[in-house]
Structure formats: C-alpha cells, structure tokens
Structure 1
Amino acid sequence: MWQDWLFEFLKGFGKLFLHPLFYVSFLLAAYLGVSRVKMERKEFTIRAKNAFYELRQLLPMGIIIGLCMSVLSIGLVLVVPMELIIYTGAFTILLGLLGKTRLLSPAYTLGLGLLATMASLYMGWDFFLFSKGAIGEDTYIFPTAVAVLGLLLAAEGLLMEKNGSKGTSPRLKKSSRGQSIGIHLSERVWLVPMFLFLPKGILSIPIEGWPAFTVGDETYSFIFVPFLLGFRQAVQGMHPTPAIKAVGRKVFWLGILIAFSAAAAYFIPLAAIGSILVAIICREWITASQKAKEKNKAFYFTKKNNGIMILGVVPESPADKMDLKVGEVITKVNSISVHDEIQLYRALQKNSAHCKIEVLDINGEVRFAQRALYEGDYHKLGILMIQDDKARDDAAV
C-alpha cells in the first residue's frame, strides 16, 4: 500500500515540471524586476533593488505555504478535476502575459477556472485535452474546489502581509497642483505549489465523508499543481507597510470565509457558484476600497519643511548600513539643518570622515544614526528623495 502512495507522490511531484505555468512564472517575475529597475533609473538615475529581487521572492514563502496547504489537502482529501487545473492555468498564463498582475489573485484565476469547469460539465463540452467524462455527473467535487479557492485566497493574504510590504518600489508623480510627490508600488508574483487529488488512479482511501465525494468508492492519483498568485498595490496616502498589511489581512479572512463556505456547497451544489461570485466580488471590493481610501488621504511622501523625506534606500549603501528607513525625515546632518539635496551635500562635506544624522522616525520620534565615511560615501549616501523637476536627474544622493 505504502509503495503505491510513494509512487503516486513522486509521479505527482514530477508533473509540476510539466506544467507550463511553472516556467511562465519565472519569466513574469524576471519581467517585473527589469521593468521596475528601468522605471526607477528613469526617475532617480539609480535603482532601489536589483532586477533579481522579484525572482528571489517568487519561491521561498510560496513553497512553505504550499507545503502547509498540501498537508491540509491530503488530510482532507481535496479532489479536483483535471479540467479545473487546465482552465485555471490557461487563465493565469493569459492574464500574466497581458501584464495584469493584479488579476492573478486566485479569486479571478481559480474562480474563472471553476466557472469554466462547471460550464464544461453542464454544456457537455468535449475537448481534445480532456473529456467531459472525467468529472461525471457528481457535482460534489465542486465543494472541494471551493475549499481550495479559499485556501489559496488565504495564502494570498498571508503573502501580501508578510512579503508584499517588503521591497516596495519608490516612484514620483505630479499632484493635481503640479507638485512632485512620492508613491510606493508593490508588484509581486508568488509561486505556490500544492498537492491535490485527481479522480481516477490507483489510490483508495477507506474513509467516507466531507470534503471528498464518496471517498470510499473512488480511486485517486496525486498531482503537484503550481498556482501563480499575483498582487499589485500603489500607496500614496500612508506608509506602504501598514497599508499593504491591512489589505493582506482582509484578503486572508476572505479566504477563510470562502473555505468554510465549501461546507454549504456540499449540501447545496448551487452554493458553490455563490461562493465563487462572493470571492470575485469581495476581492474586487477590497481593491476598490483601498484605492478610494488612498484618494481621500493627504499625500504621505511630500517635500517637508522640517527636513528631507526618505522615499527610498539603496541596499548595501551607507544609508542602509545606518539603518535609515523609508518614511523617515532627515532633519540634521553633522548638526546642520538640511532641507534639500544641496544642503545635504554641504553638511556631509563638513566632516569627510564621519557622518551623524538626526532623523524623525515614522512615529515622529527623534533618533540618531552615525557611521564612518569612506572615500565616495558622501557622494552616494544611498537615499532616494523627492526632487523638483530641475533636480530630478540628481535625485539619488
């Protein structure tokens, strides 16, 4: 018995590398990194993080969350039809190639995949890649798919909260009054591989009950499915970290709600459609409400009368090593008050061997940062700031 499980487990794992989405995800992450660097160089003449940053974020947390969800999937015997995997992958690749990162939420990709799968069952579609007979007439398979949708939405929320607020990209834009302001953009994709059961196979599970349909009378096989989760959020009315984390928490609890709604779909099959529509509408509402909230707030990253607002910090730069943070305001350098780039240069040159900076942190409290300076450090401190148009070419200090 255990040999069968091991064989199916290894075979299901190998199917991960046959899925085109596995390779498309790397291309999309690389594209996001290159596009971000080009935009940052255009506006600041220097990039905040290198072009490989998005690629490095693609797998680590996604694999951990995917393995945790796989334990739940195997324990709960979450069975999905092959049609769902194919449709979801097709929608994901299409939206990804169109550059619609925001729409790579499972609410849209898996939700649309579920609706298309239901249509293929009830319309009797027969395709060259799969047959309508793969599902049969038992609609109890759809509650398990709704449970998977809820789990992936919860995973999206966790990834947004824990990872989406890191490494946001600073940008410059014009306010309605023509003033230069700063915003932060987080655009990320995560690959979340997850073990699921497919109908028809050599595995049998002698347990009957929810969430699998007639478990005791069926046979199954494993498949390791790569789900690509995407996210895009621009923040201008508050610090990006709490703003993105707040949206992430809302998405997480939406996922939990959808996962529990699978129980209702088990008893009332049409409730599965309702759960899908709720997931899509609520996910869109979360995005729309965040945008409306941003518009009603005053700009967070603006030129300050009491100092220089830090819009970005270049990794491994002197500013990074002094632990200067995005959103902090530099008020004094070497005991000299500074309000713009020229004053900052002059203050740094006052002491070419040492730098002492007074800053107001994001809570408005004063703190000091200092370190020894080496040749060239004063010229490239590693701070991205808001500049007037005439000074934008030298915005990277």
Structure 2
Amino acid sequence: MTEYRSSLLRLLSERGYIHQVTDAAALDALAAKQIVPGYIGFDPTAPSLHVGGMVQIMLLRRLQQAGHKPIVLMGGGTGKIGDPSFKDEARSMLSEDRIRDNVASIRTIFERFLTFGDGPTDAVMVDNADWLDRLEYIPFLREVGQHFSVNRMLSFDSVKNRLDREQSLSFLEFNYMILQAYDFRELAQRMDCVMQMGGSDQWGNIVNGVELARRMDGKEVYGVTTPLLTTADGTKMGKTVAGAVWLNEDMLPNYDFWQYWRNCDDRDVGRFLRLFTDLPLDEIAELETREGAAINEAKVRLANEVTALVRGPEAAAAAEATARETFAGGGLGADLPTLELPADGLTLAAALTALGFTASNGEAKRKVAEGAVRYDDIVMTDPAQVLKPATGATARLSLGKKKHAILRG
C-alpha cells in the first residue's frame, strides 16, 4: 500500500477507495497543506440513487471527515443526455420537470451523509444545468471543442466497448464526455475545485476534465477513481433478482434494505464495513476474522450500521427486531413488507411477483414447484391458488429462508 502524507489519501487508501489517481504525489502534497474542494457528479435518472452509487456518496463523506470540502454536482444538464459509459444502449430521455423532481428527492439522501452549510469544509450542492443550459453551440465548439481529439475519445474503453458490441452510440451521447470535462473546468473556476472523483468507469471522462483545465486555464486539477464495485460472487453492487436496492425509503422498505446487507457474502463483510460504515479499522479487522455463526453477528452489525446511516437508527433497530422475531420467534415482524390484498384475493404467483420476491409469474411458478414457497409455514404446491385472508387478518408469505412478507386481507 502506498504511503501518503495527507490524512485524506491515507484515509481513502486504508478503507479501499483508491483505484487510480492522476498525479498522486502532487494531490497528496496539496491535501497535506490546504483544504481541497472535490466533487462527484450524479445524474438524476431516478428519484433515488441505489446501493451501487453509495460508494461515491461515502467518498464525499470521507472527504469531509478528512477536513476537506465536498461538492455534490447534480446533473440537471447532463442528465438530459445520459452517460454512455459502459452502457449497452442509450438511456430514455427525461423531461425537465422529471429531472427537477428527481434532484429534489435525491438531495434528501445526501443530507444524511454530509454536513451542508457555508463553512470552508461544509458540503454544497450545485446543478450543472446552471451553466450547461446557457451554453451557445457555436461559441462552445470554438472555445472548448477544439481541445478534444475524436481519435482519443474513441480509444476510451467506455466508448470502445460500446462500439465493439456494435451498439449505436448517438452523437448526443458522444457529447457527454465533453460536457463532463467542461463541468470540471467550470467548478474549478467557480469554486476553486481541484479534484474530481468517480468510479473506475469514469477515468476517461475525468482525465478529459484534467486536461481541459490545463489547456484552457493553465490550472492543475486532479482525478481519483474507485475500484469497480462487485460482490464476491461477481454480481454488480446494488442489483438483485428483485431489482435495484434503492436508498430512499419510498422506493424500498427499510426491512428489505437491512436484509440486503445482512445477507451479503461472508467474503464481503470486511470490505463493506470499511467502505460503507464509520466503524474503526481495528474493530472491522476483528469482525471480518469471525467464522461460522459468529460471522452472522458481523453481518448484523454491518446491516445495522449501514441502515442507521442511510435510513436512521430507528429504521435499523426496527429491521433487526423484525428479523429476530421472524426468524427466531416464527412471528410476524412489524417491519416486514406488507401487501394489501384486493377483496377477491390474489393468486400465489401474483402475490410473489407483486412483492418483488420474483421477477415474473413464470419465476414464481418455478419457485413453487421447487417447494421454496410457504404460506403461514405451509409449503405451497399450486401457484394459481388464491390467497384470501379474512378482512383485517394477516398471514405470512415466505420465499426460501430469507424473504418474508405480511399479506393483509
């Protein structure tokens, strides 16, 4: 592990955030002597970010913990285009009203991770629509476009992989990396921002911004990327069979969020504790060495710490209590997801799919055939069976050992 002078890069390195740095020695020296304003961009393509974006939010939190200034850049402008980096196809176009609503919804999450204000190390949130929406096309091409080589842009893996798969890359999307580079230059001028951070898939875009600031203004700025985040079994972080693991409560129940962390692979416990919690490293070192039943205690600790950070301590406590009652006591934990059934009931397959336990009725039928579905602890054999508790009554529907829900008549 590289030895750094600055508390910032030491912290990031010790917790596993650093993949690449454009000029590590120069950035380290700068961070050791002054406050470094750094930013990460987030395109508001949905009302919530999901767990896959949480490492970037934590990166901004670490920046502030080390005594530096986090800048949250919302892509109100770039979100109208969509980042093509390593995407199989173009994103759907969002209306300006939808983008504005998404930005407002996403901000609530950042307020839990960062301290916002007017102080030198207080976080700020800005929107690149403030400058991108005002750009004039011909002046932009003349002043900024001249600094970009199409040959070089085509050589970036994020673009090359898309073209190698023979997926169409629109001219609209191709402009994204130019606009992201311009964002960095704009923030460097407006807020003296000297660092852009992001996932490893953003390396090419970040390097473009570093070079643009140098060519247009003679200003030295820096880039830091995090490793590609996958689980131990190779799954992309934040994706499950049932869909994305959203950070906002109104898009995923607290219990489901807690269970995602509780059910992580044993091999991921230490890494996730370093990346996603504020627990001291020596305590994490002890937790990750546990084996057998004791590793489950470490997973509960992980689930509680992350859920408390994202959803609040009360949500974490309620989710743990629900899990304890559901698994140990065989009861109906109050925090389990609840499905209100219509008056004429719902088929077993439809209920499983409505809860997100299965992606389709076809998958639900397969799970029933495997004997994996229980209704009030009775193994179910007919996916077409209509579930119809009495009015006001409840029943428990379970898929395997880890997915449980309350059905209410």
TM-score norm. by structure 2 comes to: 0.24
Between Structure 1 and Structure 2, whose CA radius of gyration is higher?
1
By relative contact order (CA 8 Å, sep 6+), the higher-ranking structure is 1
The structure richer in strand per residue is 1
TM-score norm. by structure 1 comes to: 0.24
